[in-house]
């Protein structure tokens, strides 16, 4: 039995220069649908054609292609983080909270690949 119980969602986080332009490109080229633009958080999200899979765009002055971070949805991030930390999983700093939106925590697999847990606060 796994230490944490993930939801049936995954968000693929990509860094981009212009979230609005990127969302439009994905709409026009691949038929994806823009879910929202959270300008105050520098984040946009689109729905892919695969159920439960979204792409999130984090705006960066100089995006770094190839730095994809899978973001797994979870109901109780704090409990999951505690369980993973007890198993000596390394986290990148504190849990981040955007009130009324999301709570996130980045952690690493044994090879140093970044992964993220996200609890929906909406």
- Read off the CATH number of the domain in which 26 is found: 3.10.180.10
* Structural domains counted in the chain: 1
pLDDT digit string, tens, across residues 76-95: 999 999 999 999 999 999 99
Task: Quote the DSSP letter at residue 95.
Answer: P
Residue 52 and residue 27: Cα distance in Å, rounded?
17
Q: Helix, strand or coil for residue 98? A: strand
What are 118's strand-pairing partners? 73, 104
Residue 1 lies in a domain: no
pLDDT of 98: 93
How far is Cα 66 from Cα 69, in angstroms, rounded to an integer?
9
Length of the chain: 122
34 closest CA partner among 62, 15, 56, 52: 56
Rounded average pLDDT over 103-122: 91
Domain range for 86 is: 6-120
Q: Are strands 114-120 and 102-108 parallel, antiparallel or unpaired?
A: antiparallel
Classify residue 90: in a domain, yes or no.
Answer: yes
DSSP H or E stretch at residue 16: strand 6-16
51 within some domain: yes
* Per-residue pLDDT reduced to its tens digit, 8-47: 999 999 888 899 999 998 999 889 999 999 999 999 999 9
pLDDT for residue 69 is more than 90 = no
Instruction: Give domain status of residue 46, yes or no.
Output: yes
- Contact present, 63 and 21 (Cβ < 8 Å): no
> What is the model's pTM?
0.74
Residue at 26 is within a domain: yes
């Amino acid at each position: 039995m796994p230490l944490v119980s993930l939801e049936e969602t995954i968000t693929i986080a990509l860094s981009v220069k212009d979230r609005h332009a990127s969302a439009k490109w994905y709409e026009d080229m691949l038929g994806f649908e823009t879910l929202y633009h959270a300008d105050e958080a520098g984040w946009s999200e689109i729905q892919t054609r695969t159920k439960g899979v979204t792409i999130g765009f984090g705006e960066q002055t100089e995006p770094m292609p190839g730095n994809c971070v899978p973001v797994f949805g979870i109901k109780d991030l704090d409990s999951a983080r505690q369980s993973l930390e007890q198993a000596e999983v390394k986290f990148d700093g504190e849990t981040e909270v955007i009130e009324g939106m999301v709570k996130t925590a980045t952690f690493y697999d044994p090879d140093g690949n970044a992964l993220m847990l996200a609890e929906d606060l909406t």
